[in-house]
Chain A
């Protein structure tokens, strides 16, 4: 009994280690490669450092290319992702809250429309959206990427589930008896209760916007408005004429850092939020 137990435990750890290796090896490759010079990148072992660590040099060269456009791209990504996710979270929570806590005509139809929208991938209709935005001169502006980013049917879906579970009717009634208006109740009572789950919605949307490629690549022609994903792919497509390949890899590493930091900061809430969502 004891020995099989121990063997089982070793087996569990082995499985976890192999899975971790699988997840992290490419990331490790990215970290290692970002420290290499252009010629070392192709001539040295991909999973270990070359003789010289050129990370600082690579980063400073990268940030100097085209008057520092890379920093601008990172900033753009942060603006699109943080701003978009904050607004999306707010809009979603308002809609989800109302769908959970109010009874009104057509409530189910609205909710079903939202559910249906979750099943339709937005990238499919990015082109028609582009053509429509063109007609109103929105393309090639900050808003062309920002506005679609604040609409998250999935966020509404999550918010409705969270609100149904976490916001007690008594709380709302108590607020109303105190004479508070509906929006005030939402703002000062419901939102507070919902806070941890809102972090989940925020993070989902943050990742969705940060990793988006198709929409911004369609909407933007001005490279100073691009997020970092679009910029890096464009560099790669310019056949190494603008920046050498090793800097594209350094840039890829840098583009991942903010999103990882965001997760490390918000992990605790993220777990709590998801828990209430997925079991219902």
Chain B
């Protein structure tokens, strides 16, 4: 039995009554064998996933929590092997006082505030256009938009690095010929350049999710609206977009989580943009601590980041659910 089901079972004792039990009283002796199978089936079906989930998800988180409460202790030159001491929450106050780390969180939040709405807006527009009845070449466009999603983040990073690097960039070259001199790796451009890599990589994916939701709107709805003279953008605005709200919520939450994981693209891009600091994003900052052999600080940063993501994405869902309920 997986530890997670032990815990959940313990928890659910407190709230028996919430969960309807399979009605045992009505089961006659002849049906006992079958109901037994039915009682134990959930455990059997959940066990493989649950066990591996506990090993690869839950345990590492606990281990990180544990590590975040300790520090290495040295003295003098610090060349003798250090000892590990319990320091409570002191790693957390250190991390929150680390200007570079908090700045990296703020940086990613700011990039996300611009990039996520832009990307999802674009994805929504493209999905609506593909859903419109008279749009030609739908198959081609759908595949075309979707293709970047199939390209691994690090490979996308390699490609865009080349396209950004001022001395070899064919884009900068083309823009230069019409008198526009852009350096995609300059300090001011970095957030936009990285944001663009994300938008390029993920718009198609989000578009497909939204498009599938649009496809699932029953024909009667749109037909009725069209009979009332509600067509084109008005149809999209009043009927279609409200109907795909859950898909928009889902893509937003996933985008928030994706933003928080920002690592591959900037790390690869650093090779061509040396002004991109080694602790540009929170995960880069955490990895930096690992490189400095400070696992406790790294674990602390991971935990803080997980909490931030949790609060942001969960907060967003509560927010939209509340608004959704009020409507």
Direct touch of chains A and B (CB < 8 A): yes
Give CA–CA (A183, B41) in the complex, Å.
8
Which of A29, A110, A127 has a CB less than 8 Å from the CB of B302?
A: A127
Number of interface residues of B (CB under 8 A): 111
Interface residues of A in 175-213 (CB under 8 A from B): 176, 179, 181-183, 186, 207, 210-213
Could you list some 18 contacts between A and B, CB below 8 A? A19-B126, A20-B140, A26-B159, A26-B160, A46-B168, A106-B5, A119-B257, A120-B57, A128-B302, A129-B60, A147-B56, A183-B45, A211-B152, A229-B154, A236-B268, A236-B271, A275-B212, A279-B213
Which of B53, B64, B210, B309 has a CB less than 8 Å from the CB of A151?
A: B53
Nearest neighbor of A118 in chain B, beta-carbon distance = B257
Give CA–CA (A20, B151) in the complex, Å.
16
> CB of B95 within 8 A of chain A?
no
**Beyond A16-B141, A276-B216, A280-B246, 10 additional pairs, beta carbon < 8 A:** A26-B163, A29-B163, A110-B46, A120-B306, A125-B64, A127-B302, A147-B55, A277-B212, A279-B216, A279-B217
Give CA–CA (A19, B140) in the complex, Å.
12
Q: Interface-forming stretch among B75-83, B200-208, B319-327?
A: B200-208
Contacts of A107 on B, CB cut-off 8 Å? Answer: 19, 42
Number of interface residues of A (CB under 8 A): 95
B48 contacts A91, C-beta separation under 8 Å: yes
CB distance from B239 to the nearest CB of A (A): 14
A103 contacts B200, C-beta separation under 8 Å: no
B60 contacts A125, C-beta separation under 8 Å: yes
| B 179-208 binary contact with A (CB < 8 Å = 1; else 0) | 000000000000000000000100110001
Known: A102-B38, A153-B53, A229-B155. A16 touches B253 (CB 8 A): no
Nearest neighbor of B233 in chain A, beta-carbon distance = A8
B209 contacts A23, C-beta separation under 8 Å: no
| B 213-224 binary contact with A (CB < 8 Å = 1; else 0) | 101110000000
Interface residues of B in 140-165 (CB under 8 A from A): 140-141, 143-156, 158-160, 162-163
